């Protein structure tokens, strides 16, 4: 039985897409129930840099993850190959690249769409959801980098609920712990287990899996 392919996508740059992909991968890898691979199809290679720092810190054989890169049509083949040997494959996609996005979505089990509480992210989300719909793949929107106090956030939630895709109950706060963990190839889940950032990621990881069961 093939593993599940989780494609993290958002047409707008700077949405926190790569950080979300890394944190979800670590959360699933550490739950003791899943073998996890990460696939970077973004030419910018930020997820690859994160993984290299993870290897430097933990050792090549102790990252808890399998890492691959691919581009174009190769992304589809690599995702399928990884899914044969892993329970979960997490794909990080580039923004503003329709062809790359389509290749990463085609075989996905679910498209996870991070949305910051801003009009620009909202507008970009519609295009991302349309890409998933075209490939007949389900999507789950996730409010990301949510300020502790922001009236705009609730206004955005109301607007987001008008899209034809569910919105995750779990919200990810605008927390320094996420960027601190990313810089050293880690995640709050493994480095600050009781921190609110770690709790949010664990809750979201569980919610995403429930969505595809």
Segment 129-139 mean pLDDT: 92
User: What confidence score (pLDDT) does residue 1 get?
Assistant: 47
Q: Tell me the Cα Rg of the chain.
A: 16
Q: In this predicted model, what pLDDT tens digit does every residue of 26-46 receive, in sequence order?
A: 999 999 899 999 999 998 999
In the sheet that holds 110-115, the strands lie side by side as 66-69, 36-40, 88-92, 4-8, 110-115, 139-143
**């950080």: which residue's tokens?**
19
- CB environment 33-72: b (16+ within 10 A), e (fewer): ebbbbbbbbbeeebbbebbeebeeeeeeeebebbbbbbbe
Q: What is the pTM of this model?
A: 0.93
Higher per-residue pLDDT: 68 or 162: 68
CATH class of the 4-212 domain in this structure: alpha beta
Question: CA 13, CA 9: separation in Å to the nearest integer?
Answer: 10
């Amino acid at each position: 039985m093939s593993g599940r392919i989780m494609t993290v996508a958002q047409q707008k740059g700077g949405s926190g897409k790569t950080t979300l992909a890394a944190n979800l991968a670590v959360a699933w890898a550490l739950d003791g129930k899943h073998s996890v691979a990460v696939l970077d199809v973004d030419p910018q290679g930020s997820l690859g840099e994160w993984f290299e720092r993870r290897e430097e810190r933990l050792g090549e054989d102790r990252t808890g993850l399998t890492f691959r890169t691919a581009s174009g049509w190769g992304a589809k083949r690599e995702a399928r190959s990884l899914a044969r040997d892993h329970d979960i494959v997490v794909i990080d996609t580039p923004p503003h690249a329709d062809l790359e996005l389509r290749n990463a979505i085609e075989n996905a089990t679910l498209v996870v769409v991070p949305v910051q509480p801003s009009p620009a992210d909202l507008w970009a989300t519609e295009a991302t959801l349309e890409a998933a719909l075209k490939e007949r793949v389900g999507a789950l929107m996730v409010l990301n980098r949510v300020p502790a106090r922001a009236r705009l956030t609730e206004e955005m939630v109301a607007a987001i609920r008008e899209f034809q895709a569910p919105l995750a109950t779990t919200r990810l706060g605008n927390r320094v712990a996420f960027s601190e963990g990313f810089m050293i190839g880690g995640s709050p889940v493994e480095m600050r287990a009781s921190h609110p950032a770690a709790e949010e990621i664990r809750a979201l990881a569980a919610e995403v899996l429930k969505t595809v069961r």
